[in-house]
């Protein structure tokens, strides 16, 4: 295991800093000059700098290379860097090393499958929830949803095409079936029940940032949307049905198929296919398909006359809310807070903190033909994304955790997702995945399911206990992942680290780089020395203790 | 210098004090433990608890507690007599025998008819606000009643079969400990001797304090509190309270062998062991379609068995006078029966049920109009209900908390007492 040693010594050389091992070296290497940054990035920097000026805030210093490297790996491909990846990056002398790394993670074939799996996981959770498709009776096929998104992200399908797919998809939910189209899994369990109200509210909220669920039953006092608009939007989904397909053998549901069928309307006239809804005072009213901006389409329910979902998708493509919503979503993904809270409520009652920036980013994203990788590049190279997660006297005013509007004057710490933790543990312990991709994904999903709590509503609401509370602490203390990571048997991770380290100190340094992307402090070396004594000089057992401590630390579990 | 022997700050001291060992801190913790035992009986006498039966999805209270037989909105169910001063649904015959212990507030009138908003509002007494999180019933009550049980080593706020509400500004240490109704707690076994665990925690503490010092932006002590509680429960004999399996078969059957039944049985065990707040979730009330068949065949038999068993059991054990029971969901359902033979979300007029503790049983509070579409008496809100429940547990809602940004915060949203419930 010569590799380990080389990696560690390389890091030691390049990251030496005056503070003697207390911290890694602080280097500023985003770009040689601001000119080389994408113009949109410069635009972000200018707007955010103006915010700082307006609020008289002094931003945090830039994060050092190692911390930033860990950050960008987690956000872009869903895991921390390996020690090799980290030391290679820190050792680079190029002035453009940060933009080079973003470029590598986004465009190098070596990272395509991890990038795709990471974003497929995020979008799958967003569209069908963490528990979607886990119930045997569910029409959703989770593998199918994941596969659709993996393919999208692996081929960098543009965002507008992706949304168009998801809104208009027809076909079968399950990979390997004749009419398989994974995109149908978004709507397949949202159209049959309750007249497709769930399709209505999910589509408008997730893709347009319009919260309409309250207006299903009444005009909401804080929301511009009215009941009428809800049922008009709902009308676009009324040709859509999910059909159960049974397996020949045991008559169990094998999969589902999403189809567009003629809609006779609730008055029984397909030429004039209207829907009824009831006001709170008992009066019945009528709605036809009308988009949020007032655009009407033909009232016919015959699919051959007008395919309502196709029409809806076309109209959504014209909507500025489509652009704003995805920009807000991705900004929040990287920066920890969006321009609105919650991020998927862009209604007029909920003004954005940086309205011009949101609008300009949205416009630029449209000009860039909805290339998600471009948007990711703009944000990850921007100044606020480079900052350390340090609160100082100069920026303590900027504290969104207590309800202030975010000013992005430091990197806001947040906990890794359960998915990121899982993948990071695998990388940190050099585990070689076993089985096919689908088997690995299912193994991971089984592990993840321990944190999901459902709410018992028809809308499939759920919460996660992976939130820093006791169940999570128990999992990190004693769970299978930690147990495996701290094993000391032959050819275990710690065995390999011990074998390849010239000294216990060397081994401890390796573990800190692997878990925390930094070298140990003097005090941490000190406690390792004491553990060495307590373990009667058994280096592997000492490493097991230190590794356990590292994996249980805030510094490990937080994205910072 | 030794990091294992010299506590360097409160954080480490807290950790170590919970672990049996030879250090000076641990010794003092043991001494304190004995003093606790001496006072245990005294403390137990004054010990209040609450159990929230949470009906996820929004239960149709017009079909259960505030029936409108004969009205066009009434539905097919018939009312039956109870041991209290009211009638309830014929499909709750066992609960009917316990109604002398329970009161119905028929004049709940709220504004949140969306699941997430309603769940938040009913759990906290505040409407959702994107800029601040308010503490829920469980967090408030466990936080306030912890002083009555200094020897408690297991989480003071347990949520069974659901996720309850969050701790808000009280901090992660007051978040619900979620378990399934079989009481199984995952990842409890460490298989490591105490001394070594303590040494590992000392190393962890070192890493933690370094990071907190560098970033200066962390509720680092929050994490420490959670870790401390985790260590505490891992090493506690009190965890046997979660072993609902050890109950005699007769009591399992009395509560019902379904998840909710076992959850209620587990709740009783936990309260008996000193846990101040337990929430048990029964979902599946979001009956937009085919509501009456679902209620009659699925929800009501389960509810009837478990809820009646819980009240009866608490009473027989002499625990009812110190245990408040609260039954509610995020809202009620429309009196109007829709085209799919279901009822939709309705917050303007609905019911919840309160009993136990010092509350009067057998009463109805308030009334709705003849078709159930509006409240005809003084309307009560989530704020009022929470204020009343806190009052019943001896918790003052006048107390001012400080949120993370130093803002003074009240609990329960400044509601008024529902006087009729107070004896």
Residues A493-509: pLDDT tens digits? Answer: 999 999 999 999 999 99
Name residues 22-41 of chain A within 8 A of B (Cβ): 23
The reply to whether B226 touches chain A by the CB within 8 Å rule is: yes
**Angle between helix A2-15 and A504-516 (nearest 10):** 70
Q: Do A524 and B202 touch (CB under 8 A)?
A: no
Comparing CB atoms, the residue among B215, B229, B286 nearest residue A391 is B215
Distance separating alpha carbons of residues A255 and A270, to the nearest angstrom = 29
Indicate which of B163, B165, B334 best probes the interface with A, i.e. most A CBs within 10 Å of its own CB. B163
Indicate which of B4, B211, B404, B405 best probes the interface with A, i.e. most A CBs within 10 Å of its own CB. B211
In angstroms, the separation between the Cα of residue B229 and the nearest Cα of chain A is 7
Residues B228-282: pLDDT tens digits? Answer: 889 888 888 999 999 999 999 999 999 999 999 999 999 999 999 999 999 999 9
Residues 6+ apart with CB under 8 A from A532: A504, A539, A542
Q: Do B117 and A526 touch (CB under 8 A)?
A: no
Task: Look at A15-24, B137-146, B303-312, B414-423 and tell me which has the smallest mean pLDDT.
Answer: A15-24
- Tell me: pLDDT of A327 over 80: yes
The reply to whether A433 touches chain B by the CB within 8 Å rule is: no
Residue B296 gets which letter from DSSP? I
- Tell me: pLDDT of B13 over 50: no
Q: Given pLDDT bands bounded at 50, 70 and 90, which one contains residue B162?
A: confident
Q: How many CB pairs under 8 A join A and B?
A: 194
The reply to whether A341 touches chain B by the CB within 8 Å rule is: yes
Per-residue model confidence (pLDDT) at position B44: 61
The reply to whether B384 touches chain A by the CB within 8 Å rule is: no
Task: Look at A60-64, B1-5, B84-88, B388-392 and tell me which has the smallest mean pLDDT.
Answer: B1-5
Task: Quote the mean pLDDT of chain B.
Answer: 86
Q: Sort out which chain B residues have CB atoms less than 8 A from A478's CB and list them.
A: 187-191, 234
Per-residue model confidence (pLDDT) at position A452: 80
The reply to whether B408 touches chain A by the CB within 8 Å rule is: no
Q: Sort out which chain A residues have CB atoms less than 8 A from B407's CB and list them.
A: 402
Distance separating alpha carbons of residues A471 and B164, to the nearest angstrom = 14
- Residue whose token pair is 């994107």: B130
Tell me whether strands B157-160 and B277-282 are parallel, antiparallel or unpaired.
parallel
Q: Sort out which chain B residues have CB atoms less than 8 A from A468's CB and list them.
A: 172, 175, 222-223, 226
Q: Sort out which chain B residues have CB atoms less than 8 A from A390's CB and list them.
A: 214-217
Q: Given pLDDT bands bounded at 50, 70 and 90, which one contains residue B114?
A: confident
Q: Do B163 and A465 touch (CB under 8 A)?
A: yes
Residues A378-402: pLDDT tens digits? Answer: 999 999 999 999 988 888 888 888 7
Residues B36-72: pLDDT tens digits? Answer: 444 555 556 679 999 999 999 999 999 999 999 999 9
Q: Do B203 and A521 touch (CB under 8 A)?
A: no
In angstroms, the separation between the Cα of residue B162 and the nearest Cα of chain A is 6
What tokens does A163 get? 């949304």
Q: Do A549 and B204 touch (CB under 8 A)?
A: yes
Per-residue model confidence (pLDDT) at position B42: 55
Per-residue model confidence (pLDDT) at position A1: 38
CA atoms within 13 A on the CB side of A304: 2
Q: Which residue of B has its CA nearest to A454?
A: B162
Q: Given pLDDT bands bounded at 50, 70 and 90, which one contains residue B404?
A: low
Q: Sort out which chain B residues have CB atoms less than 8 A from A402's CB and list them.
A: 132, 403-405, 407
- B287, burial (CB in 10 Å: exposed 0-12, middle 13-18, buried 19+): buried
The reply to whether A530 touches chain B by the CB within 8 Å rule is: yes
Q: Which residue of B has its CA nearest to A397?
A: B405
Does A47 or B405 have the greater pLDDT score? A47
Per-residue model confidence (pLDDT) at position A403: 77
Q: Sort out which chain B residues have CB atoms less than 8 A from A463's CB and list them.
A: 163
Distance separating alpha carbons of residues A18 and A83, to the nearest angstrom = 22
Q: Sort out which chain A residues have CB atoms less than 8 A from B236's CB and list them.
A: none
Q: Do A473 and B230 touch (CB under 8 A)?
A: yes
Q: Given pLDDT bands bounded at 50, 70 and 90, which one contains residue A111?
A: very high
Comparing CB atoms, the residue among B175, B204, B215 nearest residue A469 is B175
What tokens does A174 get? 């399950």
Per-residue model confidence (pLDDT) at position A468: 81
- Tell me: pLDDT of A272 over 70: yes
**Any idea where the domains of chain A sit in the sequence?**
1-25+415-560, 126-318
Q: Sort out which chain B residues have CB atoms less than 8 A from A461's CB and list them.
A: 115-116
The reply to whether A279 touches chain B by the CB within 8 Å rule is: no
Per-residue model confidence (pLDDT) at position B43: 53
Distance separating alpha carbons of residues A525 and B206, to the nearest angstrom = 10
Q: Sort out which chain B residues have CB atoms less than 8 A from A196's CB and list them.
A: none
Name residues 128-157 of chain A within 8 A of B (Cβ): none
The reply to whether A470 touches chain B by the CB within 8 Å rule is: yes
Task: Quote the mean pLDDT of chain A.
Answer: 88
- Tell me: pLDDT of A454 over 80: no
Q: Which residue of A has its CA nearest to B55?
A: A456
Percent of chain A with pLDDT over 70: 89
Residues A186-245: pLDDT tens digits? Answer: 999 999 887 888 899 999 999 999 887 666 665 655 555 678 888 999 999 999 999 998
Task: Look at A109-113, A129-133, A289-293, B76-80 and tell me which has the smallest mean pLDDT.
Answer: A129-133
- Residue whose token pair is 């609990």: B411
Percent of chain B with pLDDT over 90: 63
Per-residue model confidence (pLDDT) at position B273: 94
**What ipTM goes with this model?**
0.86
Does A456 or A231 have the greater pLDDT score? A231
Average of pLDDT values for A125-142?
A: 86
CB B363 within 8 A of CB B85: yes
In angstroms, the separation between the Cα of residue A526 and the nearest Cα of chain B is 8
CB A245 within 8 A of CB A255: yes
Percent of chain A with pLDDT over 90: 68
Q: Sort out which chain B residues have CB atoms less than 8 A from A521's CB and list them.
A: 210
Name residues 168-197 of chain A within 8 A of B (Cβ): 193-194
Per-residue model confidence (pLDDT) at position A215: 67
Does B44 or B303 have the greater pLDDT score? B303
B142: left (phi over 0), alpha (psi -120 to 50) or beta: alpha
Q: Which residue of B has its CA nearest to A400?
A: B131
Indicate which of B215, B329, B401 best probes the interface with A, i.e. most A CBs within 10 Å of its own CB. B215
Show the domains of chain B with their CATH numbers: 1-45+190-238 (no CATH), 48-183+243-421 (3.40.720)
What tokens does B233 get? 């429960």
The reply to whether B239 touches chain A by the CB within 8 Å rule is: no
Q: Residue B275: phi, psi to the nearest 5?
A: -70, 125
Q: Do B57 and A478 touch (CB under 8 A)?
A: no
Q: Given pLDDT bands bounded at 50, 70 and 90, which one contains residue B378?
A: very high
Residues A4-59: pLDDT tens digits? Answer: 444 444 444 333 333 333 334 344 455 444 558 999 999 999 999 999 999 999 99
pTM of the model: 0.85
Does A134 or A517 have the greater pLDDT score? A517
The reply to whether A560 touches chain B by the CB within 8 Å rule is: yes
In angstroms, the separation between the Cα of residue B408 and the nearest Cα of chain A is 12
Contacts for A2-5: CB closer than 8 Å, 24+ residues apart: A2/A500, A3/A84, A3/A500, A4/A83, A4/A496, A4/A497, A4/A500, A4/A501, A4/A510, A5/A500, A5/A501, A5/A502, A5/A506
Distance separating alpha carbons of residues A94 and A216, to the nearest angstrom = 56
CA distances from residue B222 to A452, B149, B175 in whole angstroms, order as listed: 22, 21, 11
Name residues 230-249 of chain A within 8 A of B (Cβ): none
């Amino acid at each position: 295991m010569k590799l380990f040693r080389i990696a560690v010594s390389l890091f030691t050389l390049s990251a030496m800093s005056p503070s003697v091992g207390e911290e890694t070296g602080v280097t500023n290497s985003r770009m040689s000059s601001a000119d080389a940054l994408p113009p949109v990035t410069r635009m972000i920097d200018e707007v955010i700098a103006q915010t700082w000026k307006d609020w008289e805030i002094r931003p945090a210093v830039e994060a050092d290379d190692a911390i930033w490297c860990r950050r960008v790996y987690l956000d872009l491909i869903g895991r921390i860097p390996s020690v090799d990846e980290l030391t290679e990056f820190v050792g680079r002398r190029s002035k453009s090393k940060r933009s080079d790394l973003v470029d590598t993670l986004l465009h190098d074939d070596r990272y395509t499958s991890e990038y795709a799996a990471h974003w497929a996981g995020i979008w799958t959770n967003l569209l069908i929830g963490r528990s979607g498709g886990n119930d045997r009776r569910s029409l959703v096929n989770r593998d199918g949803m994941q596969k659709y998104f993996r393919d999208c992200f692996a081929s960098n399908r543009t965002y507008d095409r992706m949304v168009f797919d998801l809104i208009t998809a027809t076909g079968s939910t399950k990979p390997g079936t004749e009419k398989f189209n994974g995109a149908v899994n978004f709507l397949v369990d949202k159209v049959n029940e309750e007249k497709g109200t769930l399709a209505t509210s999910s589509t408008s909220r997730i893709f347009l940032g319009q919260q309409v669920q309250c207006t299903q039953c009444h005009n909401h006092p804080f929301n511009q949307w009215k009941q009428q608009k809800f049922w008009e939007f709902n009308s676009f989904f009324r040709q859509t049905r999910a059909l159960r397909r049974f397996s020949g053998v045991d008559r169990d549901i094998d999969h589902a198929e999403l189809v567009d069928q003629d809609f006779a309307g609730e008055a029984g006239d397909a030429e004039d296919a209207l829907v009824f809804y009831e006001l709170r005072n008992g009066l019945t009213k009528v709605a036809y398909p009308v988009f949020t901006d007032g655009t009407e389409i033909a009232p016919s329910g015959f699919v051959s006359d007008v395919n309502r979902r196709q029409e809806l998708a076309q109209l959504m493509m014209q909507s500025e809310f489509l652009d704003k919503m995805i920009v807000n979503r991705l900004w929040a993904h990287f920066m920890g807070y969006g321009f609105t809270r919650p991020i998927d409520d862009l209604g007029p009652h909920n003004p954005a903190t940086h309205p011009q920036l949101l609008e300009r980013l949205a416009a630029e994203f449209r000009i860039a033909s909805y290339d998600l990788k471009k948007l990711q590049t703009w944000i990850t190279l921007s100044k606020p994304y480079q900052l350390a997660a340090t609160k100082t006297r100069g920026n303590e005013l900027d504290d969104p955790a207590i309800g202030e509007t975010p000013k992005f004057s430091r990197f806001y710490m947040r906990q890794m997702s359960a998915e990121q933790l899982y993948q990071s543990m695998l990388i940190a312990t050099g585990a070689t995945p076993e089985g096919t991709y689908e088997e690995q994904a299912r193994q991971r999903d089984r592990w993840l399911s321990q944190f999901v709590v459902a709410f018992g509503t028809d809308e499939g609401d759920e919460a996660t206990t992976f939130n820093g509370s006791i169940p999570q602490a128990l999992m990190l203390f004693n769970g299978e992942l930690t147990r495996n990571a701290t094993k000391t048997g032959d050819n275990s991770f710690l065995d390999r680290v011990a074998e390849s380290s010239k000294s216990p100190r060397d081994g401890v340094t390796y573990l800190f780089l692997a878990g925390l992307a930094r070298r140990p402090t003097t005090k941490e070396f000190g406690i390792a020395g004491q553990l060495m004594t307590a373990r009667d000089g058994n280096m592997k057992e000492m490493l097991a203790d230190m590794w356990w401590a590292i994996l249980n630390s805030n510094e490990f579990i937080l994205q910072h | 210098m030794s990091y294992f022997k010299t506590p360097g700050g409160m954080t480490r001291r807290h950790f170590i004090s919970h672990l049996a060992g030879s250090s000076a801190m641990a010794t003092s913790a043991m001494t304190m433990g004995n003093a606790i035992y001496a006072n245990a009986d005294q403390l137990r006498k004054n010990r209040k608890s609450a159990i929230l039966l949470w009906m996820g999805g929004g239960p149709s209270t017009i079909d259960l507690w505030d029936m409108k037989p004969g009205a066009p909105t009434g539905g097919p169910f018939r009312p039956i007599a109870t041991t209290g001063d009211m009638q309830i649904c014929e499909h709750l015959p066992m609960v009917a025998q316990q109604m002398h212990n329970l009161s119905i507030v028929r004049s709940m009138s709220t504004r949140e008819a969306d699941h997430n908003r309603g769940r938040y509002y009913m759990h906290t007494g505040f409407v959702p606000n994107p800029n601040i999180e308010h503490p829920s019933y469980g967090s408030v009550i466990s936080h306030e009643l912890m002083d009555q049980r200094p020897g408690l080593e297991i989480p003071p706020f347990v949520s069974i079969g659901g996720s309850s509400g969050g701790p808000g500004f009280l901090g992660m240490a007051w978040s619900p400990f979620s378990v399934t109704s079989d009481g199984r707690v995952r990842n409890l076994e460490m298989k490591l001797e105490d001394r070594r665990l303590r040494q590992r925690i000392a190393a962890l503490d070192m890493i933690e304090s370094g990071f907190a010092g560098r970033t200066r932006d962390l509720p680092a002590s929050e994490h420490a509190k959670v870790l401390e509680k985790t260590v505490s429960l891992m090493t506690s004999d009190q965890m046997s309270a979660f072993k609902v399996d050890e109950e005699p078969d007769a009591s399992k059957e009395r509560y019902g062998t379904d998840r909710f039944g076992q959850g209620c049985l587990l709740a009783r065990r936990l309260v008996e062991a000193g846990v101040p707040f337990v929430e048990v979730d029964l979902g599946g009330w979001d009956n937009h379609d085919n509501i009456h068949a679902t209620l009659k065949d699925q929800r009501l038999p389960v509810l009837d068995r478990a809820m009646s068993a819980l009240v009866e059991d608490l009473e027989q054990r002499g625990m009812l006078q110190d245990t408040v029971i609260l039954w509610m969901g995020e809202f009620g359902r429309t009196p109007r029966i829709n085209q799919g033979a279901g009822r939709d979300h309705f917050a303007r007029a609905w019911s919840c049920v309160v009993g136990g503790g010092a509350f009067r049983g057998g009463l109805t509070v308030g009334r709705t109009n003849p078709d159930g579409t509006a409240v005809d008496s003084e309307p009560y809100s989530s704020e009022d209900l929470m204020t009343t429940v806190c009052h019943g547990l001896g918790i003052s809602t006048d107390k001012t908390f400080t949120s993370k940004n130093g803002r003074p915060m009240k609990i329960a949203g400044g509601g008024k007492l529902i006087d009729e419930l107070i004896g």
